[in-house]
Amino acid sequence: MACVRIGTSLVVHRPDAITAPARELASSMPADPEYVVVVVDQPDTGGSALGEAVGTALGEEVRPVRLIPSQDAGAISLATAQKLADRIGRTVVYPDGVVLANASGLSFLPPFEGNGWVACGPGREPARLGRRFPEPEWEGPATTDVQRAGQATVVEPLPAGVWLRPDGPPRWLEADRAKLSRWLTMRPRDLTVVLGGHGIPPLALDDVAEWWAVVPPETRAKTRFLSFGDVRIPSRTALGHALADALGEEIVLYGGLPVGTSEAPKFLTLREDGSHGLRTFAEEIVFSPRRGSAKAAAPQIRRGRVPFKGLIEVGPGVYRYEGDAVVEVVQAGLWLRTIREPGMATEVRTMPCDPGSILIFHDPAVDGHDALVANLLDRLDGSTRAGAKLFPVPAAPETRRAELPFAADLTAPLTPLPRLSRLLREHLKETAVAEPAAAEVPYLPVELGGQDTEPAEADPVPAREPEVGPRPEHELVAVQATPRPELRAWPLIPGFAPDQELVRAGREEAFDRLSEQVLEIWRRFSPNRPMSDGGLAEAVAAGLYLAGDDPDVDGGLRAGVEGPHVDFARCVAAGLQKLPVHRNVAATVVSPVPGVWELLRGNPVLREWGFLNLLTVPEEAADGSTDLVVWSVTGRLTALIEPKDKGLPHRVVFLPGTVFKVIEVVEPTEKERGRILMREMVESESGEGGGAAAKARDDLIRSSLRRFARRSDRAKSRRPGEARIVRLGRVPGIADPPSRRNEL
């Protein structure tokens, strides 16, 4: 036997020649930093000859070996792999079954024809590994073996993930299995879950939920669902909404079948017979579960395809076109609309994709849009233009305030719906009284304030200051005054555009360093789409603020004064708004002056006009006498853009104007630490008052916050002293006394 190197692999072959399949297989194998890949192009003749050839070729190489048989070599036996491991003195991994290899370099062992990869070590018992090589990030027990979910659903491993489908005729299963194994792109970071099949009974959502319950949380965040066949869902309900409701959390649904390379797959629609249709613009779509009887929220585009070159992205999936017109990527195609969101937005975004056509939504009543539609069609590629259909929609003015900006984070992992809402419903059923308000089922609001929302004339939840008696001058404490709208950082004013020069001026070195960090993160999550200059300026401004390199943003916002800090703060807010949302507990350690305790005793509602910084883990108790513990609804997790040298990896930042309600106050004593428990409020709570719904919500959240506060004797994070003074350790909504700034 002879051994030669082809590409990044070694090929063990007959002395006369290497077969063409073996050469092609070796050339397609990706580089593996952990194993030496050896393609065996020789029928299994025992481990001695194989060990001699491999041992000679390895030389001083110390990595373990992975054996992959060529088409003509046949199966490798356990005895051969074990003899080779003993001969070369290192671990040898071999496939126990038939290996399916594709052009992208993936090797997969089908579940019905083998047991997967097996590792043999010198003098050790063989150990079973997964089914895929290279091993994806989501490989685990839930994706390795054939399982049962519910009464009639089979969970079958695929190269790209798993296939959830009922039993059915073998000829239909074989046809679908071949398509999913051959065409479906394997993405190392994303687990693809295929739902249903052709010629078999519909898939039950209850069975999907049963399988979902055993999937680890870290794998759920990487899961992408693919609608492939029939799924039993309620009438007049889209699959994405029905699936989100059944699983109780946000889910991501592919806009089509991903084919091609894992770095830049193309997403194609699927016709009823399973054949390929048109290439979609919406590639990954986010669906949120409904809150009780509320209407389902419009889906959001998490990943979309640029309609054509030259467009400037002004939001996720939204591109500036000409004049005041923008092109938005929606499920069913493209929507040509004005910058200001017109009516019928939810209906347009909710309309499902037609496998045989790409819909172009437009309003023929808007002056000049007919010409823009014609120009848009001309600039689309030929196949898309051939399948495009015009779909007129009315432009009635929007009569309600926008609940959610059409701008979702592109990088962050999805946050599961908190269990708090479900606990709240159960609590109200048990404690319901005869009052009409108690019969309504309240839910924790999770809507986010968006940059398209205009500031209200009056605050929906006014800050109020309880009446207190005379105090010494050093104890004078007041709530923050409400600044004029033009002096607020959030929501953004109409027409706001980030100024990169303003952000960079005076901090060029820090700006350039953070720009490299932000662009590196962007390329990791969006490798095929360049980051806009405006988006870069916003993200870097947020990073500079987190590092403390800003023009006293918080002090100026709380004081409501004019200055360059306002524009800088707007850039910071725009950057933070795109980060993942933290719906859980956050805390800090504070040392309130006596006047603060008097103000907080009445359980007031306080509005913080600066940025509020908290942490998701307990801190060192020595830094303050009191624990401030807050239930977050819209706080932003900043770990992605935290500066590498001054960053706090567990930080949560709330945007300016966030409202907090005090729900418990305990002053510190010599034997016990003090605590201040608050919860974040949103605009939808402004009309609730203090009825049974609000009280039940306060009671449930108070219990969660108390449990967090009792963890004070456990391990706590230590924060840098500079960040502690500048950002942390504040009670929200309290004004800065001139002599005690940043100490409240």
CB neighbour list of residue 358: distance below 8 Å, 6 or more residues apart: 278, 280, 281, 332, 333, 334, 384, 387, 388, 389
Whether the Cβ atoms of residue 66 and residue 32 lie closer than 8 Å to each other? yes
pLDDT digits (tens, 9 = 90+) for 675-734: 999 999 876 665 555 566 677 778 778 877 887 877 654 444 444 444 444 578 889 998
SS3 annotation, 427-472: HHHHHCCCCHHHHCCCCCCCCCCCCCCCCCCCCCCCCCCCCCCCCC
Q: What's the pLDDT score for residue 410?
A: 36
Give the C-alpha separation, 333 to 267, whole Å.
Answer: 13
Give the C-alpha separation, 728 to 589, whole Å.
Answer: 8
From residue 80, alpha-carbon distances to 46, 47, 66, 85, 327 in Å are 5, 4, 13, 9, 61
Q: What's the pLDDT score for residue 103?
A: 53
- Average pLDDT over every residue of 505-531: 80
Percent of the chain with pLDDT over 90: 22
**Before 491, cis peptide (omega within 30)?**
yes
Least confident of 34-43, 44-53, 65-74, 294-303: 44-53
Q: What's the pLDDT score for residue 285?
A: 95
pLDDT at 461 over 50: no
* Confidence label for 340 from pLDDT (cuts 50, 70 and 90): confident
Q: What's the pLDDT score for residue 98?
A: 83
Q: What's the pLDDT score for residue 355?
A: 87
Measured N-to-C along each axis, helices 564-577 and 533-546 cross at an angle, to the nearest 10 degrees, of 100
Query: Quick check: helix, strand or coil at residue 120?
Result: strand
pLDDT at 654 over 60: yes
pLDDT at 116 over 70: yes
CB neighbour list of residue 368: distance below 8 Å, 6 or more residues apart: 323, 325
- Exposed/middle/buried for 442, CB within 10 Å: 0-12, 13-18, 19+? buried
- Average pLDDT over every residue of 655-666: 92
More confident residue, 513 or 437: 513
Would you kindly state where each structural domain of the chain is located, as residue ranges? Answer: 2-133, 147-392, 485-578, 585-740
For the chain, how are helix, strand and coil distributed in percent, rounded to 5?
30, 25, 45
Whether the Cβ atoms of residue 652 and residue 614 lie closer than 8 Å to each other? yes
Query: Quick check: helix, strand or coil at residue 142?
Result: helix
Q: What's the pLDDT score for residue 426?
A: 53
- Average pLDDT over every residue of 549-575: 87
pLDDT digits (tens, 9 = 90+) for 473-504: 445 678 888 899 889 998 888 888 888 888 88
Q: What's the pLDDT score for residue 465?
A: 43
- Average pLDDT over every residue of 630-654: 85
CB neighbour list of residue 623: distance below 8 Å, 6 or more residues apart: 589, 719, 724, 729
SS3 annotation, 470-512: CCCHHHCCCECCCCCHHHCCCCCCCCCCCCHHHHHCCCHHHHH
CB neighbour list of residue 690: distance below 8 Å, 6 or more residues apart: none
Whether the Cβ atoms of residue 29 and residue 102 lie closer than 8 Å to each other? no
pLDDT at 22 over 50: yes
- Average pLDDT over every residue of 358-387: 87
Average pLDDT value for the chain: 79
Query: Quick check: helix, strand or coil at residue 36?
Result: strand
* Confidence label for 451 from pLDDT (cuts 50, 70 and 90): very low
Give the C-alpha separation, 283 to 328, whole Å.
Answer: 13
pLDDT digits (tens, 9 = 90+) for 577-631: 888 888 888 988 888 888 888 888 877 889 999 999 998 887 655 567 888 999 8
Whether the Cβ atoms of residue 572 and residue 611 lie closer than 8 Å to each other? yes
More confident residue, 218 or 419: 218
Angle subtended at Cα 160 by Cα 180 and Cα 32, rounded to the nearest 5 degrees = 135
- Exposed/middle/buried for 33, CB within 10 Å: 0-12, 13-18, 19+? exposed
- Average pLDDT over every residue of 247-261: 92
Q: What's the pLDDT score for residue 417?
A: 38
* Confidence label for 331 from pLDDT (cuts 50, 70 and 90): very high
Least confident of 280-289, 292-301, 412-421, 670-679: 412-421
Give the C-alpha separation, 286 to 581, whole Å.
Answer: 15
Q: What's the pLDDT score for residue 200?
A: 92
Give the C-alpha separation, 591 to 584, whole Å.
Answer: 23
* Confidence label for 210 from pLDDT (cuts 50, 70 and 90): very high
Least confident of 5-9, 56-60, 632-636: 56-60
Buried b (16+ CB within 10 A) or exposed e, 97-133: bebbbeeebbbbbbbeebebbbbbbeeeebeebbbbb
How far, in whole angstroms, is CA 568 from its chain's centroid? 27
* Confidence label for 462 from pLDDT (cuts 50, 70 and 90): very low
Whether the Cβ atoms of residue 704 and residue 630 lie closer than 8 Å to each other? no
Give the C-alpha separation, 634 to 444, whole Å.
Answer: 12
pLDDT at 294 over 50: yes
SS3 annotation, 242-278: HHHHHHCCCEEEECCEEECCCCCCEEEEECCCCCEEE
Query: Quick check: helix, strand or coil at residue 328?
Result: strand
Helix (H) or strand (E) holding 536: helix 533-546
- Average pLDDT over every residue of 113-132: 86
Query: Cα dihedral angle (257, 260, 266, 269), rounded to 10 degrees?
Result: -30
- CATH number for region 585-740: 3.90.176
- Average pLDDT over every residue of 736-740: 59
Whether the Cβ atoms of residue 275 and residue 198 lie closer than 8 Å to each other? no
Give the single-character DSSP code of 619: B
Whether the Cβ atoms of residue 722 and residue 548 lie closer than 8 Å to each other? yes
- Average pLDDT over every residue of 137-153: 88
* Confidence label for 283 from pLDDT (cuts 50, 70 and 90): very high
